[in-house]
Amino acid sequence: MARTKELLRKNSMLIALIFIIVLFEIVINVRSGSYLITPMNITNLINQNSYVVILACGMLICILSGGNIDLSVGSQVVLIGALAGVFLIDMRMNVWLAIGLCLLAGIGLGAWQGFWIAYMRIPAFIVTLAGMMTFRGMAQLILGGFTKSPFREDFTRYFNSFLPGDRPEMRLPVALTAAGVICAVFIAAQIIGRVRKIRKKYDVEKVAVTAVRTAVVCAVAMGIAYMLGLDRGIPVILILLAAVVAAYSYYTKHTVPGRRLYAMGGNEKAAKLSGINTNRILFFAYTNMGFLSALAALVCVARFRAATPSAGMGFELDAIGACFIGGASAYGGIGTIYGAVIGAVFMGVLNIGMSIAGMDQYWQSTIKGIVLLTAVVFDIMSRKRKQAA
């Protein structure tokens, strides 16, 4: 019974995601006779929420460092987007050079904020609030209040194209083959991880639990691949998202700096006394956030084929909400990339589901706010129950 409760607690947001998908399927079918889970909607969900997944990975690193957040990511997105417009549209710069300069600019913005937060110890809320206003103002100056468009095809194709391209007959076979490879890698990782834990005499979960989880993951992967194959194929942006999620998941779970990040979030004073350079970790968290904000900016301007002064509005709230909904602690030290991705998908399903159901924009904002508050309250109550026990 105790193991069952722990399993349900760990997968509570996944269960909530499944519940909300089923709920929207019923509501949308009753109101319009259509469905939420269709090939086109799956593709749209990936494209429309790609920036949330990218920003959530960076925001989680900031939150893990001690409950810190970055309020400036939306403004960084619009500023980097404006620079991309200047490089690619005005200056006709080489695509890869422009992408490299944009990523370096994002790293610079993150490092600027990281310096004041990590080494000057100015509260992150104040520094990033100032950055939110400053960076958006700089973007407005660069754009002059106007939209820069259209972005060149040799740039947008790296983010907006699909595999296998203009061969409709190969879309489904390619998608299913890719999903099969992913399933094989996942199964191998589960087996290797279990063997390593047994060799080190760690506690391992029951074989049945591992088998069920593996089967569910593989079934979902194959189902999504089938849907994508029926539409336009595998979005290139999905490959980019998979690479980002895999890299940051490995960093947080299997590297020494990643473990130090959790240690700092759990107790910064104890981490510092144990020899961990907490200033360097905090500096890295915000520099990395700048890098991922630049990547999200490139994804956004490629999708809209334009750099607009109003871009990035509310992006910081989407990223923060995805992390907290996905199980990150408001106090730091607790959270996973997997959870942040689940939170991002949850918010994406909420957005697209409420839009298809025809709900008013004000109701959409209200519901998302209630969901975010509920997630944070759940985290705080869980911590109190653990402390009481």
Q: Is residue 194 part of a domain?
A: no
Q: Is residue 185 part of a domain?
A: no
Query: What residue has token string 């994406």?
Result: 348
Whole-number pLDDT of residue 11: 67
Q: Is residue 67 part of a domain?
A: yes
| Cα–Cα dist 375/213, whole Å | 24
Whole-number pLDDT of residue 24: 82
What are 337-388's pLDDT values in tens digits?
988 998 898 888 888 888 887 777 777 778 778 877 777 777 667 666 666 6
Whole-number pLDDT of residue 136: 94
List of E strands, 206-313: 234-235
* Residue 235 β-bridge partners: 162
Q: Is residue 62 part of a domain?
A: yes
Q: Show the low-confidence residues of the chain (pLDDT under 70).
A: 1-11, 379-380, 382-389
User: Which domain does 127 fall in, by range?
Assistant: 33-165+233-388
Q: Is residue 249 part of a domain?
A: yes
Q: Is the peptide bond before 235 cis (omega within 30 degrees of 0)?
A: no
Whole-number pLDDT of residue 383: 63
298 and 80 in contact (C-beta within 8 Å)? Answer: yes
Tokens representing residue 17 in the block: 């995601």
Sign of the C-alpha dihedral computed for residues 31, 36, 37 and 42 taken in this order: positive
Q: Is residue 55 part of a domain?
A: yes
Tokens representing residue 271 in the block: 């981490």
204 and 194 in contact (C-beta within 8 Å)? Answer: yes
Q: Is residue 208 part of a domain?
A: no
User: What is the reported pTM?
Assistant: 0.91
| Cα–Cα dist 132/349, whole Å | 27
> What is the CATH number for 136?
1.10.3470
Total number of domains constituting the chain: 1
What are φ and ψ of residue 93, in 5° steps? -75, 155
Whole-number pLDDT of residue 285: 95
Whole-number pLDDT of residue 51: 92
Q: Is residue 192 part of a domain?
A: no
Whole-number pLDDT of residue 10: 66
Question: Residue 203 in 3-state DSSP?
Answer: coil
Burial of 19 (0-12, 13-18, 19+ CB in 10 A): exposed
Longest CA–CA separation in the chain, Å:
64
